[in-house]
Amino acid sequence: MSNRFRNGLTVVMLVVLAASAFAAGYLTRELVNGRGGSTLAHAEGDDMALFQEAWSLVEANFLGQLPESRQVTYGAIRGSLATLEDPYTVFIEPAAREVERERLQGSFGGIGAYITRSEETGEVLLEPIPGNPAEAAGVLVGDVLLAVDGQSITAEMTVPEIVDMVKGEKGTSVTLTLRHPGATEAVDISVVRADILLPSVVYRLLEDDPTIGYIGLSRFSGESGNEVGVAVQTLLSQGATRFVLDLRQNGGGLRDAAVAVADHFLDSGPVLYVDSQQEGERVFNATDETLAPDEPLVVLIDGGTASASEIVAGALKDRERATLIGNSATFGKGSVQYVFDLSDGSSVHVTSARWLTPNRQQLDGEGIAPDILVEVTQADIDDGRDPVLERATQYLLETALTPSP
């Protein structure tokens, strides 16, 4: 085993152990009491020597091709985390971490165009997003991308690799060599990159009743609070008097984004409690600057409603602000992960706290049951029907017709 590989593996494993110690209270106490130092030294000494002994035998005797040292390091990290038996404490490689970071930020530096590869011809095609730099620079729908900054696009390149070539910091330029639809000659187009928003929200007035504003939220990114705020204000200005907030298949995201979304419908008071060994119990409250404090509200849920989505659903249910309608209980993820970025762009996600609803309900493995359970059949799916949304519309209409006591 080379010294460079041995030293690199030691450093990465120590970073993982230190990150876990910072995130998990019981390890932090051991470090403070002086026992953590001996644990790390033991991991660096005897345990690392045992690993090196085993891997040296593999290197000397393995019949197949050995992986690169970085992949062995990644495997060692994953194996270490697997001993915790926690499905949410995980290691993320650099490329996947970058995608995750962009999704959570809600924006990235780019040109504002969809990039796909044709299944028929294998060509890489562009479709500019209206109002973004690619369209302004002259990129057309169906343009064939031939090169990026002089580097030719090859059949071996994957779409994610090509996307990485096109992306870059806001304000920088990228030269695209394109062939417009129907043309034979290639042209070079320079595009100045900008911050490209990755929308997490769609909204509209429902056709069946234009007094009902529908808001669909696909994830909780850094922009989601503002996006939902714009949706609520726009729908109110268009005549909405009741709302449907669709959190189905929303796997979560940022905790602060969940608090910001709930804040649009709650007038002060608790949104959630977070309990950790480092900080004890913290409460996250809504402000008194809500946009829709009284309008009737239904939240749509299913088994894919998880994490940050459950924060919002749980807060609105416990505060008696909304009625939950769905075909099943939510996923049941009541833990909080701290994300530690490592030196090579990878990251470690460490379960570090539990969160509770305003009524102090802990959701791990249980989820939140809908107030109104709706059966969804395969026939409904095949026919393109949405019985859950239909029931939500019916409920809001019935509520509007019910006289106040």
Catalytic residues: 307, 318, 333
3-state helix, strand, coil in the chain (%, to 5): 35, 25, 40
Backbone angles phi, psi at 306, to 5 degrees: -140, 155
Nearest to 302 by CA among 382, 248, 364, 359: 248
Rg for the chain (alpha carbons), in Å? Answer: 26
Question: Dmax over Cα atoms in the chain, in whole Å?
Answer: 82
With residue 11 as reference, give the H or E element that holds it: helix 3-23
Token readout for 96 is 């996947």
Q: Is 399 helix (H, G, I), strand (E, B) or coil?
A: helix
d(CA 96, CA 105): 14
Q: Which long-range contacts (CB under 8 A, 24 or more apart) does 42-50 make?
A: 43/13, 43/14, 43/17, 44/10, 44/14, 48/6, 48/9, 48/10, 48/13
Q: How many CB atoms lie within 10 A of CB 47?
A: 12
* DSSP E strand boundaries for 198-256: 201-205, 212-217, 242-246
The Cα–Cα gap between 136 and 52 comes to: 56
Q: Are 265 and 290 in contact (CB under 8 A)?
A: yes
10 Å CB burial of residue 331 (0-12, 13-18, 19+) is: buried
Give, in degrees to the nearest 5, the angle at Cα 199 between 391 and 378. 35
